[in-house]
Structure 1
Amino acid sequence: MNKNFNVIAASMIAYFAYRELPSDRLCRSAGIDKGSMFEDATMISEEKIRNLWVNAVKLSNDLLFGLHFGESLQLSALGIVGELIKTSRDVGTAITAAANLISTITPLFRMEMCSDEIHFVIKLLPTERYDHNDPVCGQIRDFLTAFTIHELDGLTLKKIRPVSVIYPADKSNVPEYERVLRCKPSIGDHVGITFEIQDWDMPIITSNYELQQLLLQSNATVKDRMSSEVSFKNKVTNYMLSNAYLGLPSIEQLSSNFNISSRTLQRKLSVENSNFQQITDNVLKRLAISYLKEGSHTLKEIAYMLGYNDPSAFSRAFKKWTGFPPATYQRNEEH
């Protein structure tokens, strides 16, 4: 048994609850006791992880569940990749270290890298345990591929786009794969993600581990997010906080990850006397205040991390939220 199975299982159940899906039913169908998951002696078996995947796809009615789960997982996976953030100096060393962690997440794949003077390629290759006729294997492949691409955002605080992706995707779902993988995949028999060679040497932002810890302090714990009693407004808020690496997701991106339409998302928020813009402003305000209080970032860095290309636009927004320019607020905090 593998302790990282518990991390993946808890994150999957939390994501299920995020999407207003029956997380308690998911646990029961997979034979998992949600209440004891966080006890040190409790270890989830590979069989139960498989049951979790099977029933997650069935209960969500989302054939691309693994793809969407991988897209959402950045902060929830800190238990797996936290050491990469603390010890790796650049993207290349982080990816190389991550390749050695694949076996602790799943025995179905191994990761290899190759490069030339122009590009480097991350290959996700099936092991002898992989069964091409098993839909769970395809879900885990989707999950790992989406997670690999989106976790690079968290390492660099920059949205890195692949040059190309080779992928054994269902042609009918290519538009959604293109959205999540950030380029239109070429259909092939394995996963190959190609990046510009300069991305290999891109430094990991030295403050990023502290930034992720700060976001976690602002966010609910995984255990809290597993609850089915959390309001939809808070689920949207927590999702935004968990994915606030490079500004906040658009309403289209957010609704796609919840597997509902933008109109349905707004309607569900309206029932709780809220809307997407109100939540966006509240999350930006909370993050801005947290960054200013922490005191490790310049105003320009904070503006960039919140998605503002122009620091003056951030200053105007902050004054609207609090009544003070950010520099004034920061000085007041220091005294």
Structure 2
Amino acid sequence: MNYRRTFLQALLLFCGERNIDPQRITSLSGISLRELNTKTKFNLTNQQLENVWKNIVQLSGDELIGLHFGATMQIAALNTIGQIIQTSNTVKEALQHACSLVHLITDFYTIQIEEKTKTFTITFQKNDGFDNFPTARNQMGDFLITFTLYELKGLVLENPKPIKASLLTYKKIYDREYQNILKCSTKKNDNYSLEFKKDYLKTKIITANYEIQNLLIEQINKLQNPTSLNGGFSKKIFNFLIANSYLYSLSIESVAGNFNLSVRTLQRKLKEEGVSYLQIVEEVRKSLAIHYIQNSTSSIKEISSILGYAEPSGFVRAFKKWTGKTPSEYRHKYK
């Protein structure tokens, strides 16, 4: 599989969802969009990647777009994550395998895992020889740190929070956005890093999320654009959540940031269509819950955790409110 081609396709799709024209990005970057989408052996050079990231930052006006993209890349990375899950039993093993796979996506960084007495650190070490591609290297670093964090959330039935993070591109004016995305204190450093409690390395990973990821990617077109929502913007938010929030609960701040909007503007645009953000989140959970109960073999506990419920009992109550049946009763009915 050509992972760099898949990465660029996913990045352009992400930009399209933010109303940044992929055709314009590729044209300005000296890339044929038609060849990218039709040639499986498409070769992406580092200079082309530098041009792509420069144009995306300029057209979006978003210096943190690499961070935002990293938090929404799960579906495009399914094949890589599948390899990791199939060959790993614990978080430590999964990270060790991820270290050997990062070169499939980028030449700019090497991943290192350092264990200490009570903590461990994931460091994205800059590789030498790529100073001529500063924008691409910085944005790829931003992407990798959030991508890794959010993929870790998809490997276990919990929401791991870093103790602290370091960014090569750190700017104090973005402290609030760093907190929204990374959920920890952030500082500037020569490399990117995430530090966690050491006990997390021993955590068993689950296969249920990979089953659900595959199930979702196969059926995502059927789940998008629900008839229960009338407005175009509210459907866009719903589609974004369906595609990206099945592994964790996205805050309204994170969603607004991914659309390059303030929370107030997002709320106003939804209000104009007669719907609130919480109503859309509820509709997403309902759609995914019914879909997973009908089509997957995952346990009620696993599904409730993936959908963001702290306890299975809360999920069971919500499901019964939506359908009039408990998840177990509903699954038995549709077997």
Question: TM-score range, shorter-chain basis?
Answer: 0.7 to 0.9
Does the aligned pair in 1 maintain the 2:181–2:254 contact within 8 Å? no
- Relative to structure 1, the CA distance from residue 48 to residue 80 in structure 2 (aligned partners, 3 Å threshold; closer, same or farther) is farther
Q: 1:101, CA displacement in angstroms?
A: 1.6
Superposed CA RMSD: 2.6
- Normalising by structure 1, we get a TM-score of 0.88
Which residue of 1 is the match for residue 309 of structure 2? 308
- Residue of structure 2 equivalent to 1:330: 331
| Counterpart residue number, 2:236 | 235
**Residue 82 of structure 1 aligns to which amino acid in structure 2?**
G
2:210 corresponds to: 209
Q: How does 1:1-335 map to 2 (within 5 A)?
A: 3-46=2-45, 47-131=47-131, 134-168=134-168, 169-220=170-221, 231-270=232-271, 274-334=275-335
2: CA distance, partners of 1:235 / 1:5: 27
Q: CA deviation at 1:9?
A: 0.7
| Residue matched to 1:226 | none
Matched residue type, 2:63: L
Classify 1:183/1:241 alpha carbon distance in 2 versus 1 (closer, same or farther; 3 Å).
same
**One-letter amino acid of the counterpart of residue 265, structure 2:** T
Give the TM-score taking structure 2 as reference length: 0.88
Query: Structure 1 runs of 4+ off > 6 angstroms?
Result: none
For the residue of structure 1 that corresponds to 2:51, the secondary structure is helix
How far residue 11 of structure 1 moved from its aligned partner, in angstroms, is: 0.8
Q: Give SS of 1:113's match.
A: strand
Q: How many pairs does the alignment contain?
A: 326
Give % identity: 34
CA shift, 1:50, in A, is 2.1
Shift of residue 177 of structure 1? 2.0
Higher relative contact order (CA 8 A, sep 6+): 1
Query: 2:99, 2:110 within 8 Å by CA — same for their partners in 1?
Result: yes
Counterpart AA for 1:107: D
- Asked whether the equivalents of residues 157 and 245 of structure 1 are also in contact (C-alpha less than 8 Å), the reply is no
**Aligned in 2, Cα 1:231/1:8: closer, same or farther, shift over 3 Å?**
farther
Structure 2: where are the runs of 5+ without partners?
223-230
Question: Per-residue deviation at 1:303?
Answer: 2.3
Deviation by residue 1:25-49 (Cα, 9 ceiling, x = unmatched): 2232223333443324451421322
Q: Could you say what secondary structure the match of 2:185 adopts? A: coil
* Offset of residue 118 of structure 1: 1.4
